[in-house]
Structure 1
Amino acid sequence: MANVKNPREAYTRGVPVDLARLETLVDARFLSLIEREQIHDLRSRGESMRAIARALGRSPSTISRELCRNTATTVGYLPYAAHRLAASRRPRQRTRKLECRRGLRSYVEGKLRKRWSPEQISNRLVKDFPDDQRMRVSTETIYQAIYIQSRGALKREIAAAMRRGRTTRKPRRDPAQRTSRFVDPMISITERPAEADDRAIPGHWEGDLIVGTMSRSAIGTLVERSSRFVTLVHLHHDHTAETVRDGLVKTVAQLPATLRRSLTWDQGAEMSGHVSFRVATDMDVYFCDPASPWQRGSNENTNGLLRQYFPKATDLSRHTPDELQQVAAELNARPRKSLGWDTPAERLRALLEPS
């Protein structure tokens, strides 16, 4: 594209465009070659811009701009010519801030050698040079200058002086590609039966742990979704997967069969024994999405109420099973607004009584 001021001349004068750039799919936001072929075909049939936009699932303004900017020949809009024009405009050569501003570069280099973080440098510039807008650089720009060596970045020894000692950027894991904590596959909450979602049928529970000081002790909490009935699980000295599983099995075994339908839990490692729990109790276990506590809102609300009895940063192992049962009984006898001021015990009793 050298010596071509107008990108349209790339087609008319035969200037070549990098094929790799031409064939690269940048992002779904940008029109692809296939879409440009569709635009050409629909336009040839006399379709309006709005009709073309509907067919492609695009905005009419996108189609209008495409036809205006990338019609390069006298015979009208051609998809391959349009795609070449779009690809020719893609690269934007510019000089990076830390390459062209020597004073700013020297300041950044000096502070990096003193073990300052890029964030500290970026914010301190405002204090040290309040009236000089040229002495400004973002945290991300400094990081890019450190790690992208091929683009005239800071010296490699500067990168080695970084607090973490890395010379390359650490990739961040996509939350959608999380590694499962469990060997056995989990059943997602999206597969939970509809009867559990509408709270019409009792027997669907939400569970979690409330943890004591230094995460050394815990109490298991179970809440029935229809009635908000609370059951507490005594965990002796730890909350490993085996201890939690055995405590849940023992607690659930005391419930009538009609109240053993399903259990919803978060993706905590303490439920890695969910398969053996299901075998022992005949209750399916469903897991919430990562970082989605609202998917078991009844349990979250109950855990907040329980903190009145079991404050944070206390040793929860000192509470006996009888004490846990007494606290659960007190909560189950407390009227709830969500139940029309019935108590959980009253609501559960009404659900279990034959009509």
Structure 2
Amino acid sequence: MQSKLNLEWSPEQIASHLRTRWPDRPERHLCHETIYRALYQGAKGGLSRTLTRKLRTGRPLRKKRRRPDQRMPRFVAPAVLIDHRPPVIELRERLGDWEGDLVVGVRSQSAVATLVDRRTRYLRLVPLPEGHSAGHLRDALITVLSRLPAHARRSLTWDQGSEMARHHELAPYFADGIFFARPGSPWQRGTNENTNGLLRQYLPKRTNLSLYTVDDLRSIEHRLNNRPRKTLSWQTPAQAFTAALAL
């Protein structure tokens, strides 16, 4: 169990792994809440409290979630809103419907772009070493998109940030087009928002993200893509994406 925590697996992922690894040995099964208690209560014979740093939040104490502040739009894109996306995208039944955003560093001076496939939760981290202007983002996304087969590039949903001011130059890479969430509505890109939350364990706020190398980002990407997900019936995003590519 400690080895999985050191790999930043969540208690729920570990609990599922134990049931899968030893299906006929219930004495080895644990509820994820039991693992949390062992971490946070720090009782004698329990897990080291230092392992709380391996959890996504990294908090030494548990706390209630708070409602995130809504971000005001910085750019109103002359493009198609999310309301007009093809209904098939909502079903998560096909590969290639991506959600994207920026993870921004200290004082908004550095950033990394994120692309997440809605069906498989597969993540691509896009380095932006020269900056996150519309031109820089366009060039970086084209580098990643050009390496994907056409059936893995159906649509893209982004927020109305100014970094997407040149979205029309990316449109040819998506068969069904590019769509924009409504201002102050991050839940309309829920898959991406959740993934960005996971990323903050590795790319903390108030950090200079330009210090992360391409190899650093690939290592983080590998960690997240190879952790089992409850929403994928405990498959990993990498497994689900590879299987979907072969269809």
**Which TM-score band applies after superposition, normalised by the shorter structure?**
0.5 to 0.7
Amino acid at match of 2:242: R
Corresponding residue of 1:262: 155
Match 2:214 to one of 321, 324, 328: 321
Alpha-carbon separation, structure 2, partners of 1:290 and 1:214: 21
More strand by share: 2
Corresponding residue of 1:188: 81
Alpha-carbon separation, structure 2, partners of 1:222 and 1:275: 18
Alpha-carbon separation, structure 2, partners of 1:234 and 1:258: 24
The answer on whether the counterparts of 2:154 and 2:174 sit within 8 Å (CA) in structure 1 is: no
Aligned length: 175
Greater relative CO (CA pairs within 8 A, separation 6+): 2
Can you give the 5+ residue segments of structure 1 that lack an aligned partner in the other structure?
1-177
2:106 is equivalent to residue 229 of structure 1: no
Amino acid at match of 2:76: R
Alpha-carbon separation, structure 2, partners of 1:343 and 1:180: 35
TM-score by length of 1: 0.47
Aligned-pair CA distance for 1:242? 0.5
Alpha-carbon separation, structure 1, partners of 2:193 and 2:210: 21
Q: What SS class does the counterpart of residue 311 from structure 1 fall into? A: coil
Corresponding residue of 1:311: 204
The answer on whether the counterparts of 2:80 and 2:178 sit within 8 Å (CA) in structure 1 is: yes
Aligned-pair CA distance for 1:353? 2.4
2:100 is equivalent to residue 207 of structure 1: yes
CA RMSD after TM alignment = 1.7
The answer on whether the counterparts of 1:204 and 1:226 sit within 8 Å (CA) in structure 2 is: yes
The answer on whether the counterparts of 1:249 and 1:281 sit within 8 Å (CA) in structure 2 is: no
Q: What SS class does the counterpart of residue 239 from structure 1 fall into? A: coil
- Structural mapping, 1:1-355, within 5 Å: 181-182=76-77, 185-279=78-172, 284-354=177-247
The answer on whether the counterparts of 1:212 and 1:218 sit within 8 Å (CA) in structure 2 is: yes
Alpha-carbon separation, structure 2, partners of 1:238 and 1:352: 32
Aligned-pair CA distance for 1:282? 5.2
Alpha-carbon separation, structure 2, partners of 1:344 and 1:179: 32
The answer on whether the counterparts of 1:335 and 1:344 sit within 8 Å (CA) in structure 2 is: yes
Query: Percent of aligned positions with the same letter in both sequences?
Result: 48
Alpha-carbon separation, structure 2, partners of 1:180 and 1:235: 20
Alpha-carbon separation, structure 1, partners of 2:148 and 2:217: 16
Alpha-carbon separation, structure 1, partners of 2:235 and 2:197: 20
Structure 1 or 2, whichever has the larger Rg, is 1
Can you give the 5+ residue segments of structure 2 that lack an aligned partner in the other structure?
1-72
Alpha-carbon separation, structure 1, partners of 2:193 and 2:123: 12
Amino acid at match of 2:214: P
Aligned-pair CA distance for 1:281? 5.6
Aligned-pair CA distance for 1:248? 0.8
